[in-house]
Amino acid sequence: MSKSEPTIEDIKITKKDLDEIKSLLKSSGSTTESKNRIIKKYAGGVCVSCGNVPHKMLIHDADGAKVIERYCNKCFQKWKRHN
Ligand SMILES: [Zn+2]
């Protein structure tokens, strides 16, 4: 199986959405489950590495099936250094 380069796309979250996420996170307590649910609503999922709000989407093509990984800016920089 060949490893192909993933497609990298920006996840567009407006400043307004980001503020809403922050205030929702503040009022929802701090369980991972509720945090994930809130972020997922806006960004489709959380950063696979740290669980925060993602900013980049990596789309891997695994034998015709699309596998999507989301990364925040910080983890994306780390990912870039290792790839
Ligand atoms: Zn992260």
Percentage of the chain modeled with pLDDT above 90: 77
Q: Report CA(63)–ligand 1 centroid distance (Å).
A: 26
Expressed in angstroms, the distance from the first to the final Cα of the chain is 18
Distance 46 CA to ligand 1 centre (A): 8
Distance from the alpha carbon of residue 17 to the mean position of ligand 1, in angstroms: 18
Q: Decide: helix, strand or coil at residue 62.
A: strand
Model pLDDT for residues 66-77, shown as the tens digit of each residue: 999 999 999 999
pTM: 0.84
User: Where residue 9 falls among pLDDT bands split at 50, 70, 90?
Assistant: very high
* Residue 10, C-beta contacts closer than 8 angstroms, at least 6 positions apart: 55, 56, 57
